[in-house]
Amino acid sequence: MSPDSAVENAPAEKPLRSDAARNRERILAAAAEVFAARGLEATLDDIAAHAGLGIGTVYRRFPNRDALVEALFEERLAGVATMAALVLDEPDSWVALRRLLETMGAVVTADQGLFEVLICRPGGGGRAAVRETMLPIVTAVFGRAQADGHLRADVAPTDFPMMLRMLAGIGEATREVRPDLWQRYLELLLDGLRADRCGESCFTVAPIDPLDMDRVQHLGWPRR
């Protein structure tokens, strides 16, 4: 039907010229660094300068800011989901829980941009997918640790993103000075989460329910 021989209805992305391909990678690398350090509000001019390129070059490759964010985080989000899924293989349910929090804590404290796409922004496109991947993992890991009596019974899956928020706040503030500090507070949280303590206690305040979680994201983004 088409006059073209082989490539039928593919979008026909002809390969970039070699210098353009190299610059594309530079832009993505610079964007990764800048978004990690300053969050998604970093400017494209900043990113271009960081890449050692002109702004025009950035816009030639990515039609607008969101396209860049999308291209940058698509693969990283998939990677995060994959990493999180790894903990399901951990035989010890408490270790699985700790590894889940360590893994995701490391992600959100090291990379502010990734934290924002993952936790803060209303889900759309790849974001929704990752969160839908995460929920069953969190539920499974929490459930197993609770069944084994390691994790206190009154913890809910929605506590997970909230704890990540707490750690991300530490990370954002102290990343430049003490990039490991967040782990101290992860340890603190983990000690609070353990069920096998002498002094039993239970929360007097209910967890946030998933619908309100959505409202939190929609109210808080874009940054008012």
Partner DNA sequence: ACGGAAGCGGAGGTTACCCCTCCACTTAGA
Partner DNA sequence: TCTAAGTGGAGGGGTAACCTCCGCTTCCGT
Q: What angle do CA 183, 185, 188 make, to 5 degrees?
A: 115
With binding defined as CB under 8 A, does residue 199 bind its own copies? Answer: yes
Phi-psi region of 12 (alpha: psi -120 to 50; beta: other; left: phi over 0): left
The only residue of 39, 59, 71, 126 in contact with DNA, by rule CB under 7 A? 59
- Nearest approach in angstroms of CB 167 to DNA is 27
With binding defined as CB under 8 A, does residue 203 bind its own copies? Answer: yes
With binding defined as CB under 7 A, does residue 139 bind DNA? Answer: no
HSE-up (13 A, CA, CB side) for residue 53: 23
List Cα–Cα distances, 135 to 61, 91, 115, in angstroms: 34, 20, 16
Helices marked H in 39-158 — which ranges?
44-51, 55-61, 65-86, 93-110, 112-115, 126-147
With binding defined as CB under 7 A, does residue 165 bind DNA? Answer: no
- Nearest approach in angstroms of CB 86 to its own copies is 22
Neighbour tally for 161: CB within 10 Å:
23
- Binding-site partner at residue 83 among DNA, its own copies, none, CB < 5 to 8 Å by type: none
Residues 115, 162: Cα–Cα separation, whole Å: 12
The only residue of 8, 13, 19, 176 in contact with its own copies, by rule CB under 8 A? 176
- Nearest approach in angstroms of CB 189 to DNA is 34
Residues 25, 121: Cα–Cα separation, whole Å: 25
Asked if residues 103 and 84 have their Cβ atoms less than 8 Å apart, the reply is yes
Binding residues among 19-48 for its own copies as defined by CB under 8 A: 38
- Binding-site partner at residue 55 among DNA, its own copies, none, CB < 5 to 8 Å by type: DNA
- Binding segment (CB under 8 A) for its own copies, from list 21-29, 56-64, 97-105, 203-211: 203-211
With binding defined as CB under 7 A, does residue 4 bind DNA? Answer: no
Rule CB under 8 A: which residues touch its own copies?
Answer: 38, 120, 159, 162-163, 165-170, 172-174, 176-178, 180-181, 183-185, 187-194, 196-199, 201, 203-208, 212, 215-216, 219-220, 224
